[in-house]
Amino acid sequence: MISFFLICLILMPGIAKASDDVVEKVTVSITASQTPTNRIAKRMSASVGTVGEQMLIGRNISDVVNGKAAYEKLIQEIFDRVLVGYSVQSVHLVPDSNTLIQVAVAPWGEVVHEVALEVDFGAVSPEITDLLKKDLGNIEEKVNDVLIGLPIDALDWAGGVSKLVIREVLASQLPEFRANFDIVPGSRTVVKLSLAPMGATIQDVDVSLRSHTIPNILLLAARPTVEQAGKSLIGLPVAFIERHQDYFTAKLGAAANQHPSAKRYGLTITPVINPGVDTTVAIDAETDKYKVALEGYLDMGRSKDNTSFKLHVGKFIGKQDEAFLELDFIPSTVTWDFVPGWGHSFSTRTTAGIKYNLSDQHNIVWLHQSLNQNLTLRLEHTPAIHKNEIGIRYKMHDFLSAEYIVNKEDRWLRFIGSL
């Protein structure tokens, strides 16, 4: 039993004469028959240090020297109660302005020989599970370093250290997830870890598969494969997708490339992911050999020739130039226009060129400027008749666009169906 005198040593503040030296700092040294890990040793030292500071800071060094045996006994009795799983073999004080407390401990009972880390990744695909495991890195090794060799009875307080290790790993390597813990003590200790997403998660994924060089209808067969790959993102944190955007972009690109359509038409696949609660995935499938497009036009606010069709067939000459033939058909007058031409790509957003209408025998200078993913500016100038036409086109769907057209005489809205 701790004597009344010893209790008073803790509760009463040190009273020092002005002329006497006092204890200003306490340093702790822990030794053990089976050396604990650095984190556990720091936890032990912190506990001993707290007790030592309460008893010794501010006291006369001479008083500590005179009561050295009592202090050592008190520290041993307190620490024996606090440090479950270990017995305190000895406590030795070296009184000074920086007093050293040397504590020797030994584990009692059975110790942990093996640690099994069981991680519940939730309802994610095996591929995402592999990515999460890669992010977690050597977390199992770090938990082993903390727990192996500890007395089983010490896991109640030492388990908090392993949880701290896991939280540190998650914060640095997998910050988009939080973890719930359960430790089952034993010679083979089991650490059960379940991951749950934090922050905004993806609720829906809209996949757009389109091409400027072949009819979009040819890509329909590949759409289910790509959409299935996109749906695998649902439920994941938005921030996780942003951090691994290159990985998921490559994954969606690979899904599209594996479809026979990609090989049949020699397509180059370029996916773009815009992460969010409602994530959009735009996949451009282009070929550098030819360009084929078929469009149908319906003009609103225009009574004459308000329905027409255009077939564009082009062959790329190098990476930036295209020779093409456009065939325009107007059903109301059963009129056919043959328009050969040439285009040059100045950048991925800007293309310009010249074409010649064989029926009207007029040259037309044209420019297409992409303003963003769905908005395009079209300019056409016919020098012979001083005619200018401006169109702003908005893609509403892979197969439907709307264009507002203005020229000197008129303005109208055109709906464009793209096959």
**Residue 3: what pLDDT?**
44
Dihedral pair phi/psi, residue 365, rounded to 5°: -95, 130
Phi, psi for residue 134 in degrees, rounded to 5: -65, -40
The most confident of 5-19, 259-273, 321-335, by mean pLDDT: 321-335
Name the token pair of 112.
Answer: 């942990």
Range in 31-40, 55-64, 195-204 the model is least confident about: 31-40
Give the per-residue SS3 of 195-242. EEECCCECCEEEEEEECCCCCHHHHHHHHHHHHHHHHCCCCCEHHHHH
What tens digit of pLDDT does each residue of 88-110 get? 888 899 999 999 998 888 877 78
Q: Take residue 218 and report the two structure tokens written for it.
A: 């040819």
Q: What is the mean pLDDT of residues 188-201?
A: 91
Of 28-32, 100-104, 263-267, which one has max mean pLDDT? 100-104
Q: Report the pLDDT value the prediction gives residue 125, as an integer from 0 to 100.
A: 85
Cα(195)–Cα(181) distance, integer angstroms? 9
Q: What is the distance of C-alpha 152 from the center of its chain?
A: 37
pLDDT tops 70 at residue 13: no
Residue 107: what are its φ and ψ, rounded to 5°?
-70, 145
Of 145 and 347, the structure prediction assigns the larger pLDDT to 347
| pLDDT over 90 at 298, yes or no | yes
* DSSP one-letter code for 18: T
Alpha-helical (H) ranges within 258-297 are: 260-264
How far is 40 from 211, CA to CA, in rounded Å? 60
171: its two tokens: 């914060």
Helix (H, G, I), strand (E, B) or coil at 243: helix
Distances (CA, A) of 43 to 51, 162, 168, 179, 398: 13, 12, 16, 22, 62
Range with lowest mean pLDDT among 26-40, 52-66, 252-266, 349-363: 26-40
How far is Cα 145 from Cα 13, in angstroms, rounded to an integer?
40
Q: What are the beta bridge partners of residue 195?
A: 179
- Which of 9-18, 40-49, 392-401 is predicted with the least confidence, judged by mean pLDDT? 9-18
Give the DSSP per-residue string, 79-127: HHHHSTTEEEEEEEEE-SSEEEEEEEEEE-S-B--EEEEEEE--S--HH
Taking all residues of the chain, what is their mean pLDDT, rounded to a whole number?
87
CB atoms closer than 10 angstroms to residue 125: 13
Q: To the nearest 10°, the Cα dihedral for 224, 228, 230, 232?
A: 180
Confidence of residue 17 (pLDDT cuts 50, 70, 90): very low
Give which of 94, 104, 119, 183 is closest to 146, Cα–Cα.
183
pLDDT of 11 strictly over 70: no
Is 354 or 111 the better-scoring residue by pLDDT?
354
Query: In percent, how much of the chain has pLDDT > 90?
Result: 40
Radius of gyration of the chain (CA): 38
Q: Which pLDDT value is given to residue 35?
A: 65
Q: Which two tokens stand for residue 407?
A: 């020229």
The DSSP code sequence of 329-365 is EETTTTEEEEEEEEEEESSSSEEEEEEEETTTTEEEE
Distance of alpha carbon 369 from alpha carbon 351, whole angstroms: 7
Task: Label residue 20 by pLDDT band (50, 70, 90).
Answer: low
The DSSP output letter for 152 is G
